Structure 1
Amino acid sequence: MSAIGAMAEPASVKGWCPGALRPMQTGDGLIVRVRPRCGAISVAQVLALCEVATRHGNGHIDLTRRANLQIRGIDACALPEVWAALSGAGLMDAHAHAEAVRNVIVSPLAGIDPTEICDVRPIAAALEQALADMPALWSLPGKFGFSVDGGGLLGLDGERADIRFKAVAAEGRVGIALGVDTVEGTRWLCVLDRDEAVTAAVRLARAFVVLPKLPRARIRDLDESAFVSLRSALGDDGSAIDHASVDVSASDRVGLIEARGEMIAVGLGAPFGRLTAETLALIASTAGDHAVTAFRVSPWRVLYAAVPDRDAAVALSSTARDYGLVTVPADPIIAIDACPGAPACRSACGDTRAAARRIAAMMPLPGVSSAHVSGCAKGCARSRSADLVLVAGSGGFGIVRHGTAATAPNAYLAPADLNDLPAILRSGA
């Protein structure tokens, strides 16, 4: 191990995410991000997106942790053609404000999973429409987000969201639990009838907008007095509840997915979220050949496809595996997050994905079931704590155990010494 000085450079956090109408400049050109409606994107839309990425970008498509897809390497002069193509495919919002506020993550198996408590897609659709239609909500912070969870196999409890919906069976009826994320974790506030859920969430969001707060503040940043003021927006609606979070392991999210003896879907993981347009187009075409009409997006950089039978699931999984996607739950790469790194990102200090692949080849590592390789202290690829975090700096990697990219490293490692990582971890670093 090389002792490298305090090498982690501070990184500037923009506080907003790119969209299609508001692209973001990075090291490899503009990022144009598409937010699929209600968590679904049709095979035809995927093919249109691949065509845009090939014709106007660098051929790279990312799956993001906000359950979006983004094309990279777009030149500013090509934006009018990009927008025309995306609009023609039904992948554009009416204006940038509506697009920016429509940050809604939906259970990826909603309406597919027979174990879910209820199909939450109508709630998600109504919420997205309300956000787009209410100018009073367009001043929500750029990263303010919602999650809508049907309570099935692939829950969203572990994903960050300012306002949460979760289907619950309460008092002999199906209701919607409404909760918010605070610094201590999720506070579940009440259970509501399904047709009341969106109205209640909008009241919370409107109350948040008018609170005095720091720039880029989220609900988890509020002190107790501000939180009490926010909570009062609900009045006496619903009944308070206790709800234990359920964490789903990364390995359970990929491959063939069965429920109650029935093959329902296949999960296709993109290593570190990166696909080429050529690969994604081939997978979409294979899906279409087997009566799959759409994909579901997820915050885990996994695409899901509802399949009509086992044969379709096996064929789609086999094609995806042949082109480098993760379809085997035991594949260690599914448990590692890594940002694009340098030179694709101007904030990054190293080749994060090369390092991540080397770590995957070393797995299992002592005490490591999740890992994150970040090009800087922003930690864009993963905001949650990981068992092992490597943060790139000017001289190598800072090593963090059970923290985030923003946590102060307790050891440092030169890139040439990366093979020493297992020994360093065994020593207790």
Structure 2
Amino acid sequence: MSAAISVPVVKGWCPGLFAPMQAQDGWLVRVRPPLGRMTAAQARLVADSAEQDGNGQISLTNRGNLQLRGFKPDAALAFSRRMVEAGLGLADPEAERRTALQLSPLAGLDPACAAGALRCAERLYAGLAGSAALSALPDKFGFCVDGGGFFPTGVLQADIMLQAAGADGVSGAGGGLWRVVSGSACTVAQGPEEAVQTALALAGAYCEAYVRQGEKKRPLRVPSVGESLFAEIGLRPDAVGMASVAQAPRVRAGYLVGAASAAVAPLGRMTGTMLRACAAVAEEGDGVLRLTPWSGLIFSGLTKLPDLEGMITRPDDARLRVHACIGVSGCAQAVRDVGQDALSLAPFVPEGEILHVSGCSKGCAYPAVAEVTLVAGAEGYGLIRHGRAGDEPVRYVSGWEEVRACVQAPPEGERN
């Protein structure tokens, strides 16, 4: 059975606005709305493009991007021009690629989120767009401005992070101060302008190492890289501060805080019709859709979040407990319809736990540790407990009843 799970091909890059990627179901195109925000009109344009030029399928990625599927080559190349004209990307391909920046999705809405988060993100975005030397950054290298609040500091994760610091200098909104975090290293609290410059300097140091040594380890994946970057720019890490600790949002769908509510696309997948419906809902409020790294859209100014067909709008929906990649329909490396399997298993996932059903051992849909991970093979699934898709399975399961039983509760011999 173990031989049935093949070693996947790792491409090492992500599609971008100017870099479509060929997949099993056609070409993938991706758009990254600046600072994770788009207007209702922009959302309708994306929905129209998905239906007219692709197969109508849209994915909300864990980087706050929109990914459209099923494009033909000519349509994929024309997509970038339409998005730039609509204000959903930069005209310079290298500047567009450099600005992989996420912002707390509740910035400006949540009074507990750092008041200067949006302005800080705008400064960093401008700095990245204007720093041609940072074009050497690898495709997956990313930044974030994490203002804390309802979504606690640590919900956003990136290679270089600006995290709001409280008056005492530790994580927490307030005081207008920021810590710059890269891997296992962090600075003392800094003012916003100094923090932005520190982040750009760390990125420059990584570029020099990347070009000079061909180094591909990133701080987000190899935390010790952050310490070496601090040394490169002559900056001593804060001896008493803690580096970033990953957090999970306690609520992802439904009412959040203030006048903000959220809807989540199951498995991060939606259609053009669903996105168009979300645009109509946004217009009942402030007209803006804010993307989250957990496949959600946040609305503000609504008196009530209406039912959105196909979307998750309740915080206790079991589908929030499962993650799965596109599977056999869109990836040549997958052998099963893992998405349908994940949704079928969702009701059996214990509350508070995560099930990850992966088409191969790359684990694209959920790179973090899950309570249960199932990795597809030709004859069934490799079962991993409290690990990632690339870990060694504890055993292999094939019958559906056996798979369901493994999700509900581990046998005594498999308990940690």
TM-score by length of 2: 0.90
- Change in Cα spacing, 1:411 to 1:72, as seen in structure 2 (3 Å) is same
1-structure distance, mates of 2:34, 2:147: 17
Match of 1:395 in 2: 379
- Change in Cα spacing, 1:370 to 1:18, as seen in structure 2 (3 Å) is same
The amino acid of 1:38's aligned partner reads L
Q: Alpha-carbon deviations, 1:128-180, whole Å to 9, x = none? A: 22222222111111111111111211135144311111111135943101111
Report if the CA contact (8 A) 1:64-1:301 is conserved.
Answer: yes
- Change in Cα spacing, 1:244 to 1:195, as seen in structure 2 (3 Å) is closer
- Change in Cα spacing, 1:428 to 1:47, as seen in structure 2 (3 Å) is farther
2-structure distance, mates of 1:174, 1:388: 40
Match of 1:297 in 2: 291
The amino acid of 1:300's aligned partner reads W
Report if the CA contact (8 A) 1:250-1:334 is conserved.
Answer: no
Report if the CA contact (8 A) 2:160-2:199 is conserved.
Answer: yes
1-structure distance, mates of 2:245, 2:268: 24
1:151-230 equivalences in 2 (<5 Å): 151-155=148-152, 157-171=154-168, 173-181=175-183, 186-211=184-209, 213=213, 216-220=216-220, 228-230=227-229
The amino acid of 1:291's aligned partner reads G
Match of 1:334 in 2: 320
Report if the CA contact (8 A) 2:158-2:220 is conserved.
Answer: no
Report if the CA contact (8 A) 2:381-2:397 is conserved.
Answer: yes
The amino acid of 1:180's aligned partner reads S
Q: Secondary structure, in 3 states, of the residue corresponding to 1:93?
A: coil
Q: Alpha-carbon deviations, 1:214-242, whole Å to 9, x = none? A: 55321256696x65542134435895552
Match of 1:272 in 2: 267
Query: Are 1:419 and 2:416 counterparts?
Result: no
1-structure distance, mates of 2:409, 2:168: 52
Q: Secondary structure, in 3 states, of the residue corresponding to 1:197?
A: helix
The amino acid of 1:394's aligned partner reads A
2-structure distance, mates of 1:393, 1:213: 37
Q: Specify which structure has the bigger relative contact order, considering alpha-carbon pairs within 8 angstroms and separated by 6 or more residues.
A: 1
Report if the CA contact (8 A) 2:18-2:77 is conserved.
Answer: no
The amino acid of 2:389's aligned partner reads A
Match of 1:361 in 2: 347
The amino acid of 2:331's aligned partner reads C
Match of 2:109 in 1: 112
Report if the CA contact (8 A) 2:33-2:88 is conserved.
Answer: yes
1:343-382 equivalences in 2 (<5 Å): 343-364=329-350, 369-382=353-366
Selected match of 1:19 from 5, 9, 16: 16
Selected match of 1:101 from 92, 98, 104: 98
The amino acid of 1:295's aligned partner reads L
Report if the CA contact (8 A) 1:251-1:334 is conserved.
Answer: no
1-structure distance, mates of 2:300, 2:125: 23
Match of 1:242 in 2: 241
Report if the CA contact (8 A) 2:121-2:145 is conserved.
Answer: yes
1:250-265 equivalences in 2 (<5 Å): 252-258=251-257, 263-265=258-260
1-structure distance, mates of 2:228, 2:404: 52
The amino acid of 1:58's aligned partner reads N
5+ residue gaps, structure 2, are 170-174
1-structure distance, mates of 2:343, 2:221: 35
Query: Are 1:284 and 2:284 counterparts?
Result: no
Report if the CA contact (8 A) 2:185-2:243 is conserved.
Answer: no
Q: Secondary structure, in 3 states, of the residue corresponding to 2:4?
A: coil
The amino acid of 1:61's aligned partner reads I
- Change in Cα spacing, 1:327 to 1:119, as seen in structure 2 (3 Å) is farther
Aligned pair count reads 406
Report if the CA contact (8 A) 2:321-2:349 is conserved.
Answer: no
The amino acid of 2:151's aligned partner reads L
Query: Aligned residues: percent identity?
Result: 34
12-21 or 157-166, larger mean C-alpha shift: 157-166
Match of 2:172 in 1: none
2-structure distance, mates of 1:80, 1:220: 31
Q: How many angstroms does 1:293 deviate by?
A: 1.3
- Change in Cα spacing, 1:302 to 1:213, as seen in structure 2 (3 Å) is farther
- Change in Cα spacing, 1:180 to 1:16, as seen in structure 2 (3 Å) is same
Q: How many angstroms does 1:37 deviate by?
A: 0.5
Match of 2:307 in 1: 319
TM-score by length of 1: 0.88
- Change in Cα spacing, 1:161 to 1:213, as seen in structure 2 (3 Å) is farther
The amino acid of 1:361's aligned partner reads P
- Change in Cα spacing, 1:268 to 1:221, as seen in structure 2 (3 Å) is closer
Q: How many angstroms does 1:341 deviate by?
A: 0.6
- Change in Cα spacing, 1:178 to 1:83, as seen in structure 2 (3 Å) is closer
1-structure distance, mates of 2:239, 2:91: 38
- Change in Cα spacing, 1:403 to 1:282, as seen in structure 2 (3 Å) is same
Selected match of 1:38 from 35, 38, 47: 35
Q: Secondary structure, in 3 states, of the residue corresponding to 1:6?
A: helix
